[in-house]
Amino acid sequence: MTEVKRRVPLIRFKGFSDDWNERVLNDIATCFSGGTPSAKSKKYYGGNIPFIRSGEINKSSTELFITEDGLDNSSAKMVKRGDILFALYGATSGEVGISKINGAINQAVLAINPIQKDDPYLITQWLKRQKKIITGTYLQGGQGNLSASIVKKLIISLSRNLSEQKKVSDFFKTIDNLIAANQRKLELLNQLKKGFIRRIINQELRFKEFPDAWKDHTLGSFIIEYSGKTKINNQYPILTSSRKGLFLQMDYYGGHQIASKNNIGYNIVPRGYFTYRHMSDDEVFKFNINELVDYGIVSTLYPVFKTTSALNPYFLQYLLNYGDTFKRYALIQKQGGS
């Protein structure tokens, strides 16, 4: 067992005075990842075992299920409800959660089970707090992968007093429950907002003071394309235009940059201008407005434009993102092979 050094936290509950120890994660927990059954064998899939992938570590259901044969003939490993799950690969790398179900994990998920009676919830909170440091220091490759061997060597600070661990853990659980309750309220408000937006954009709901009928116009007469491109490397901050909105790429990927190291020729996005990815596999396009920086840059796959003075840019954003007209257009373009 590796004991690194002893520490005392700055803030703690009354009645506890024992030192906290810094310990290597692999010394206090059994850590293992799984594998994926061969996709060529249909008998390995469609069973009753939930197959937990990295994007599903915090979910109570999975998209895929595998069979006993799939489990026995692959490196997939079983985890149980309450086990700590750490995402190693992809967009969710560095995220951590406590499994809500019994199931099997693949190679992109690391299970962490305390050997003694150390509190799993407290370990989870520590890993969450360290996410930016972990991903910023150890993330590997353009897809954003973390090595399981590196995660196992992380040094975690824990109280030696299990009662104190439980006290701190219960405190965090109370806060998380409050967050979850308010998050649900926020989700309901967002659903209500989207419903109103769609009804207004599709002219099913109107404000009384505006009785005039809407007229059809060609969108091209209200937008101005922008073709500015970078002339030097890292001329402006790199942006990520996602379905969740527009972000600084370093923030979106936890301090990691996945764009090409040479970004000369990237599209420039001035403040107040639109950008979006012009290709989609499911006809879902998200139009974002740069409100982050005076100038940002995006890949050439992301066109850039602004509206003329005759059209409110935020109205257009709602129209494109929530209206049915653009969705129908995108479907027609796909059916036509574009």
Return the pLDDT at 338.
47
Q: What is the mean pLDDT of residues 38-49?
A: 93
pLDDT of 174 > 50? The answer is yes
CATH topology identical between 20-162 and 219-335: yes
Beta-bridged to residue 145, according to DSSP, are 140
Q: What is the mean pLDDT of residues 236-240?
A: 93
The answer to whether 286 and 321 are in contact (CB under 8 A) is yes
How confident is the prediction for the chain on average, in pLDDT? 87
Q: Where are the domains of the chain?
A: 20-162, 219-335
Q: Which residue has the higher pLDDT, 301 or 202?
A: 301
Q: Which of 310, 240, 250 is nearest to 275 (CA)?
A: 240
pLDDT tens per residue, range 175-200: 989 998 999 899 999 899 888 988 88
Return the pLDDT at 35.
94
Return the pLDDT at 255.
64
pLDDT tens per residue, range 274-303: 999 877 656 677 899 999 999 999 999 999
Instruction: With cut-offs at 50, 70 and 90, classify the pLDDT of residue 327.
Output: confident
pLDDT of 336 > 60? The answer is no
Q: What is the mean pLDDT of residues 222-248?
A: 93
Residue 272 Rama label (left phi>0; alpha psi -120 to 50; beta): left
Cβ neighbours of residue 105 under 8 Å, at least 6 residues apart? Answer: 33, 34, 51, 52, 53, 76, 77, 78, 79, 85, 111
Q: What is the mean pLDDT of residues 5-32?
A: 82
Instruction: With cut-offs at 50, 70 and 90, classify the pLDDT of residue 331.
Output: low
Q: What is the mean pLDDT of residues 267-277?
A: 95
Return the pLDDT at 1.
54
Return the pLDDT at 87.
94
The β-bridge relationship of strands 77-79 and 29-33 is unpaired
The answer to whether 241 and 275 are in contact (CB under 8 A) is yes
Return the pLDDT at 112.
96
Q: What is the mean pLDDT of residues 41-51?
A: 94
- Domain 219-335 belongs to what architecture? Alpha-Beta Complex (3.90)
Cβ neighbours of residue 201 under 8 Å, at least 6 residues apart? Answer: 318, 319, 322, 323, 324
Return the pLDDT at 198.
83
pLDDT of 70 > 90? The answer is yes
Return the pLDDT at 155.
92
Return the pLDDT at 113.
94
pLDDT tens per residue, range 212-232: 888 888 889 999 999 999 999
Q: Which residue has the higher pLDDT, 284 or 55?
A: 55
Edge-to-edge strand ranges of the sheet holding 96-98: 29-33, 109-114, 84-87, 96-98
Return the pLDDT at 2.
55
Give 124-175 as a DSSP string.
HHHHHHTHHHHHHHH-BTTTTB--HHHHHT-EEEEES-HHHHHHHHHHHHHH
Find the angle CA(206)-CA(210)-CA(213) to the nearest 5 degrees.
Answer: 80
pLDDT of 72 > 90? The answer is yes
Q: What is the mean pLDDT of residues 124-140?
A: 85
Structure token pair of residue 95: 């995220």
Eight-state DSSP code of residue 213: P
Return the pLDDT at 334.
56
CA neighbours within 13 Å on the CB side: how many for 220?
Answer: 0
CATH class of 20-162: alpha beta
Choice among 2-16, 104-118, 273-287 with the minimum mean pLDDT: 2-16
Q: What is the mean pLDDT of residues 165-180?
A: 90
| Alpha helical stretches, state H, the chain | 25-28, 68-72, 120-129, 131-138, 148-152, 162-201, 249-252, 313-322, 324-335
The β-bridge relationship of strands 103-105 and 45-52 is parallel
Cβ neighbours of residue 196 under 8 Å, at least 6 residues apart? Answer: 205
